[in-house]
Structure 1
Amino acid sequence: MKLRLILMICLISFSLSAQDKNKNETILVEANCQMCQKRIEKAAIKVKGVKYASWDIPSNQLTLIYNENKTNLKDIQSAIAEVGHDTKEYIAEEASYQNLPPCCLYRDPTTKEMDHH
C-alpha cells in the first residue's frame, strides 16, 4: 500500500512538471502573397520561443506554436509589424510598409488583383 502511494505521488509530480508550456494561437496578419507569407513566417520564427509559424494566404491567418515561458503574442505581433505587416494589435510603421514590394502593399485594394507569382 505504501509503495503504491509513493508511486502515485511520483507519477503525479512527474506529470505536473512535464506540463506542456507550448501555446497554440491563430492571429490575423494582413498580407497578399507567397512573398508576404515567407516574410511573416520568418519574422515570427525569429522570435525566441516560437516553434511553428504558418500563414495561410486565403484566410490571412497565422497559426503559431510558441513557448509561453519564452515569449508572448504581443512580442510576436511586434516582430511581424517590424517587417511591414499589420496585425490586430500592431500596425506596421509607414516606412516598413513602404519597403514592401509593390505587390505586397496590402493596404491598397488594387494589389489584391495583381499577379503574385
Structure 2
Amino acid sequence: MKTLNIFAALLFSFTALTATAQKNTTETIPVSGNCGMCKKKIETAAKDAGATAADWNADKKTLTVTYISTSTNAAKIQEAVAATGYDTRDVKATDETYNKLHGCCKYERVDLGGKKTKAPKTEKADGVKKTEKDCCNKEGKEEGKKESCCSDGGHK
C-alpha cells in the first residue's frame, strides 16, 4: 500500500509540474516594412504583445518571435504589429494606421485580391521623385535635416 501511495504522490507531483511548465514557441511570420525605423516599431509591438524575443529581418520581410504560449499567441502578436501600421501574414493594418507611417516606411501593399498597391512616392526639393530607400541617402535629405528613419538604423 505504501508503494501505491508513493507512486500516486509522484504522479501527482509530476502532473502538477507539467501543468505549470511554460512552453516557449518560436515562429516566423511574414511582416511588410522597409527600414530600421520599421524594424524598431515591429519588434517593439511584438514584445508589447507578449513576445519574449522578436527579430524582424528587413531583407526577408519576416519577423521571428519567441513567446510563451500560455500567455500570448501569434494572432495577438500580429494584431499588435498591424496596429502600428504593418501588414502581417494574417492581419492587415488599417489604411488609417498605414497612412500614419513615415514616408520611407510605406511599403508596397497587397489587397485581398492579391493586387499590389504602390506606396506613395515623395518628391525632392527639385521636383524629382525619390523612392522610400532614398530618404537615408545624402541627396535625399534637405540641408540640415536628418530623416528619422536614418537615426533608427536606416535602410538595408
Q: Where on the TM-score scale, by shorter chain, does this alignment land: which range? A: 0.7 to 0.9
**1:87, CA displacement in angstroms?**
0.4
Q: Secondary structure of 1:79's match?
A: helix
Measured after TM superposition, the shift of residue 59 of structure 1 is 1.0
For residue 103 of structure 1, report the CA deviation from its aligned partner: 0.4
- Give 2:36's aligned residue: 34
For the residue of structure 2 that corresponds to 1:78, the secondary structure is helix
- In 1: Cα distance, 2:19 partner to 2:74 partner: 24
* Match for residue 43 of structure 1 among 39, 42, 45: 45
> Which residue in the other structure is 1:80 paired with?
81
SS at match of 1:62: strand
- When residues 90 and 112 of structure 1 are mapped into structure 2, their CA distance, relative to the original with a 3 A threshold, is farther
Larger radius of gyration: 2
Q: Shift in Å at residue 113 of structure 1?
A: 5.3
5 Å-filtered alignment, 1:81-100, equals: 81-100=82-101
- Equivalenced residue count is 115
**TM-score, normalised via structure 2 length:** 0.62
Q: Which amino acid aligns with 1:60?
A: K
1:54 aligned partner: 55
Amino acid at match of 2:63: L
**Greater relative contact order (Cα < 8 A, sep 6+):** 1
User: Which consecutive residues of structure 2, in runs of 5 or more, have no partner in the other structure?
Assistant: 109-118, 122-130, 137-149
1:111 and 2:155 matched: no
The residue type equivalent to 1:23 in the other structure is T
Q: Distance in 2 between matches of 1:56 and 1:43?
A: 15
The aligned amino acid for 2:36 is: Q
> How far apart, CA to CA, are the structure 2 residues paired with 1:103 and 1:79?
21
Structure 2 CA distance for aligned equivalents of residues 84 and 9 of structure 1: 49
- Give the conservation status (yes or no) of the 8 Å contact 2:24–2:69: yes
> Which position in structure 1 is the counterpart of 2:144?
none
CA contact (8 A) 1:84 1:96 kept: yes
Q: Which amino acid aligns with 2:77?
A: I
Code of the aligned partner of 1:58: D
Percent identical pairs in the alignment equals: 34
Moved more, 15-24 or 100-109: 15-24
